[in-house]
Amino acid sequence: MTHQSVDLTNCDREPIHIPGLIQPHGALLVLQEPDLTIIQVSSNTLESIGQRPQDLLGKPLSTLLAPKQIATIRQCLSEDFEHVNPLDIAIKRAAKLLRFDGIVHRQKALIVLELEPKQKSQKADCFEFYQRVKGTITKIQKAPTLLEMSEAVVKEVRKVTGFDRVMVYQFDADGSGRVIAEDRADALTPYLGLHYPPSDIPKQAKQLYTTGCG
């Protein structure tokens, strides 16, 4: 919305669902089947994977990855992404072997491959995170009502993330909403129980929440 201020009358037209950018520590490739042709890349591929964007465009993914990794990605495309992501991806750069977590998902007729560099301490961190999340999931699964589940979610998510405030916001049929659960730092003003009009959260933001991309 260039040269136009955003207010309650037009914020539902702000293109927040089309950011056009990614975080700089990773790289993104858009692929087209059946050959997994690279048709779009992020502008930072030279820094992240050692290949210039113009050298990747129009080439099959096999010019970048080994056949075994291509086969793994193809298998991933035929399965439930949530159960196979992230993939272990390795890319040769000069004399080095760069390792990435690869996240694959579909966007309409295209395939998106996100590459995020692995950290050296990642295995230990993942194990510790699993131990913490395992108890959290158990508490959530045992909650007998939506309200009790929401109360468990905000407490456990705040423990894991360290955020000052975590809320569960429930939408009504008319698009308005209210905060039905909250866990916050003591110094913060409570929002629990507050109601908000439909204009509080724009339509495109609500759509992101319902598709799991928010």
Q: Please check whether residue 104 is in contact with residue 85, taking contact to mean a CB–CB distance below 8 angstroms.
A: yes
State the Rg of the chain over Cα.
21
Please tell me whether residues 104 and 127 are part of one structural domain. no
Domain boundary among 76, 93, 117: 117
Residue 1 lies in a domain: no
What's the CATH number where 191 sits?
Answer: 3.30.450.40
Domain identity same for 127 and 74? no
pLDDT at 54 over 70: yes
134 and 206 both lie in a single domain: yes
Residue partners of 97: CB distance under 8 A and separation at least 6? 90, 91
Per-residue pLDDT for 121 more than 60? no
Last residue of a domain, one of 60, 92, 117: 117
Does 149 fall in a domain?
yes
With beta carbons less than 8 A apart as the criterion, state whether 69 and 89 touch: yes
The pLDDT value given to residue 2:
47
Confidence band for 83, pLDDT divided at 50, 70 and 90: low
Reduced to 3 states, what is the DSSP secondary structure of residue 111? Answer: strand
Residue 3 lies in a domain: no
DSSP labels, 9-51: TTGGGS-TT------TTSEEEEEETTTTEEEEE-TTHHHHHS-
Q: Which domain holds residue 48?
A: 27-117
Place of tokens 């293109």: 15
Of 96, 117, 138, which marks where a domain is finished? 117
Q: What pLDDT shows up at residue 96?
A: 83
Q: For the chain, give the percent of residues with pLDDT over 90.
A: 35
Per-residue pLDDT of 126-170, as tens digits, reads 656 666 677 778 888 888 999 999 999 999 899 888 999 999 999
34 shares its domain with 105: yes
Do 145 and 186 have their domain in common?
yes
Q: Which of 7-16, 100-109, 152-161 has the lowest mean pLDDT?
A: 7-16
pLDDT reading at 211 higher than 90: no
